C-alpha cells in the first residue's frame, strides 16, 4: 500500500496555522470526506477538545462536510471515545474529532470514526487523500446540509459509563484525585465519578485554550503524584487531552502505567473465571508484562506502536484485550477505541472485587527498568535502516547481551526519533539509551 501523505497512525495532525492545520485546508478535507462518505439521512457528529484552535477547525470541517449535503451535529467538547461510542449507540453516519490528543496546544488534528465506532479503514483514508488532491473530483451538492449544535449529546456517554459497571453510589466512600489535563474530560470525568458516589479532588479542570496537557495529565504525572500524597487518597487517575489514555498513581505516589494496568485487567478477567484468549501489546510493552502473562499461560503478541495497530491485531486474532505502555487500553467488549474513562472504571471494578489496593494488584508484574529518550529532528525522517544507525543499535545490543533489548522508531505523530532501552538494571538502561541517543543526534547533525 502506498505511503499516505496526510493520515498518520491517529488521523491528521500538525502545527496550527500551517497545512494541513489551516482553516482552508481543513475545509478542503471536509469536502473530500463529504464526497467519499455516502450521503444518507443520518447526521455526522463532530466533537472537539479544549484547544483555542479547535472551534475554528470544527467550523471549517463542518462547513466542508455540509457543502456536500451532509447534516452535522456539533457535540462540543467531549472525549474522543465518547464520539466513537455515540457513533455506534446513536447511529451517526460518521464521527469526527478535532483534537491533537496528548500534543501541546499549538498542535491540532482531526480523526474520523465510522458508524461502527471504529476508525476509518486504510482504503477509506486513501480515497479521502485522493479526493483532497483532486479538486475536479469534488462538486458542490445541490443542497447544503444543516449544522446544528447539541452539546447535551455527550450525556448519553456519561450515562453509559455510570451504568455499565456499577450500581448507583457503588463508589461511595472512595476518595480519588482526578487529573483531566485541562482537556476533553474536564467536565465528563468528574461527573461520572461523582454520580457513582466517589469523593473527587479535581486537578487541571480549568481549560483556557492553551493549557491543555501543559505539565499535567497522563503525560506529566508529577502534579498528580504530589496531590495523591497530599490528600492521602488511595489512588489518582490521569487522562490526556482527548481522554483516550489512562495513567494511574497509587497511594504511595508511584506511577502505574499502561503495561501494569493491562496486567491488572488481564488478571481480573481470570479472577472472574472468564476466558482470556490472549493479550496484544506493542513493541514498547515491558518485558515484565510478557513474563508475567506467560506465567499465567496467557499468550502475548507485540503489534507496532499505535492503538490503531493494537486494534488491528485484536481483530485479526479475535481477541478483546490489549494496550500500550502509554495508557491506550482497549477492551473491545466495552469500547471500540482507547477509552481512558472506561478503562479507569474497569480498574476500579478490579480493585473493589479483589478488595486489594492498586499497589497490591500491580505486584504480580515486575516492571523492567525502561528508559526512553526522544531525539527531535527537522526535515525528512531519518532512515533507521541505514548502516550508521544499525551499527549504533548493534553496539548497544552487544553491551546489553541477554539482559535487555533496544527499540528505535520514528514517532507517527511528531518529528521525533524514540530511543528506548530496557534492561534488568536501571543504570545500564540509562547509559545505553543516552549512548544511542547521542549517536542518533550525531548522525542527524551530519546529514
CB 241 within 8 A of CB 204: no
Query: In degrees rounded to 5, what are phi and psi of residue 168?
Result: -55, 140
Q: Euclidean distance between the first and final Cα of the chain, in Å?
A: 28
CB 417 within 8 A of CB 375: yes
Relative to beta strand 235-239, strand 246-250 is antiparallel
CB 264 within 8 A of CB 346: no
Relative to beta strand 175-179, strand 235-239 is parallel
What is the Cα–Cα distance from 399 to 415, expressed in whole angstroms? Answer: 28
Relative to beta strand 72-77, strand 44-48 is parallel
Q: Which residues of 165-199 are buried (b: 16+ CB within 10 A; e: fewer)?
A: bbeeebbeebebbbbbbbbbbbbbbbbbbebbebe
**Marked catalytic residue, from 63, 101, 313, 336:** 101
Q: Is 101 a catalytic residue?
A: yes
DSSP state string for 192-248? HHHHTT-EEEEES----SS-TTTT-GGG--HHHHHHHHHHT-SEEEEE-TTS--EEE
Task: Give me 179's grid cell.
Answer: 487529573
What is the Cα–Cα distance from 264 to 317, expressed in whole angstroms? Answer: 21
Helix (H) or strand (E) holding 131: helix 122-133
CA dihedral 281, 286, 289, 292 (to 10 degrees): 140
Closest C-alpha among 381, 399, 406, 392 to residue 440: 392
- Residue tagged 455499565 (cell numbers): 164
Closest C-alpha among 137, 129, 65 to residue 95: 65
What is the Cα–Cα distance from 186 to 49, expressed in whole angstroms? Answer: 10
Burial class (CB in 10 A: 0-12, 13-18, 19+), 277: exposed
What is the Cα–Cα distance from 320 to 80, expressed in whole angstroms? Answer: 20
Residues 6+ apart with CB under 8 A from 122: 1
Looking from the CA of 386 toward its CB, the CA atoms found within 13 Å total: 9
Could you list the active site residues?
101
Amino acid at each position: 500500500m502506498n505511503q499516505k501523505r496526510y493520515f498518520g497512525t491517529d488521523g491528521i495532525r500538525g502545527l496550527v496555522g500551517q497545512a494541513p492545520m489551516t482553516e482552508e485546508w481543513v475545509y478542503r478535507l471536509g469536502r473530500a470526506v463529504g464526497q467519499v462518505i455516502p450521503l444518507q439521512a443520518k447526521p455526522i457528529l463532530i466533537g472537539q477538545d479544549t484547544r483555542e484552535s479547535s472551534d475554528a477547525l470544527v467550523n471549517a470541517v463542518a462547513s466542508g462536510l455540509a457543502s456536500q449535503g451532509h447534516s452535522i451535529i456539533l457535540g462540543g467538547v467531549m472525549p474522543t471515545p465518547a464520539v466513537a461510542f455515540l457513533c455506534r449507540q446513536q447511529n451517526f453516519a460518521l464521527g469526527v474529532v478535532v483534537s491533537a490528543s496528548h500534543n501541546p496546544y499549538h498542535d491540532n488534528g482531526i480523526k474520523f470514526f465510522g458508524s461502527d465506532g471504529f476508525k476509518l479503514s486504510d482504503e477509506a483514508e486513501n480515497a479521502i487523500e485522493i479526493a483532497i488532491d483532486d479538486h475536479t473530483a469534488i462538486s458542490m451538492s445541490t443542497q447544503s446540509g444543516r449544522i446544528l449544535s447539541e452539546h447535551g449529546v455527550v450525556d448519553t456517554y456519561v450515562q453509559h459509563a455510570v451504568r455499565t459497571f456499577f450500581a448507583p453510589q457503588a463508589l461511595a466512600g472512595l476518595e480519588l484525585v482526578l487529573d483531566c489535563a485541562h482537556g476533553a474530560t474536564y467536565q465528563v470525568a468528574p461527573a461520572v465519578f461523582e454520580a457513582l458516589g466517589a469523593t473527587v479532588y479535581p486537578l487541571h479542570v480549568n481549560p483556557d485554550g492553551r493549557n491543555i496537557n501543559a505539565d499535567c495529565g497522563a503525560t506529566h504525572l508529577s502534579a498528580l503524584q504530589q496531590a495523591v500524597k497530599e490528600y492521602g487518597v488511595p489512588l489518582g487517575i490521569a487522562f490526556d487531552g482527548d481522554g483516550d489514555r489512562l495513567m494511574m498513581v497509587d497511594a504511595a505516589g508511584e506511577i502505574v502505567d499502561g503495561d501494569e494496568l493491562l496486567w491488572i485487567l488481564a488478571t481480573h478477567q481470570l479472577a472472574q473465571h472468564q476466558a482470556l484468549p490472549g493479550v496484544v501489546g506493542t513493541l514498547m510493552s515491558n518485558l515484565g508484562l510478557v513474563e508475567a502473562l506467560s506465567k499465567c499461560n496467557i499468550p502475548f503478541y507485540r503489534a507496532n506502536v499505535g492503538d490503531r495497530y493494537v486494534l488491528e491485531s485484536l481483530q485479526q486474532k479475535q481477541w478483546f484485550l490489549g494496550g500500550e505502555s502509554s495508557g491506550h487500553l482497549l477492551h473491545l467488549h466495552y469500547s471500540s477505541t482507547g477509552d481512558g474513562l472506561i478503562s479507569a472504571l474497569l480498574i476500579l471494578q478490579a480493585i473493589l472485587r479483589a478488595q486489594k489496593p492498586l499497589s497490591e494488584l500491580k505486584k504480580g508484574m515486575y516492571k523492567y527498568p525502561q528508559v526512553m529518550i526522544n531525539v527531535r529532528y527537522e526535515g525528512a525522517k531519518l532512515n533507521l535502516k541505514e548502516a550508521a544507525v544499525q551499527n549504533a543499535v548493534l553496539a548497544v545490543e552487544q553491551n546489553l547481551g541477554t539482559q535487555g533489548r533496544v527499540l528505535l522508531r520514528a514517532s507517527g505523530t511528531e518529528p521525533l526519533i524514540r530511543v528506548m532501552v530496557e534492561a534488568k538494571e536501571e543504570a545500564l538502561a540509562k547509559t545505553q539509551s543516552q549512548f544511542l541517543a547521542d549517536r542518533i543526534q550525531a548522525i542527524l547533525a551530519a546529514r
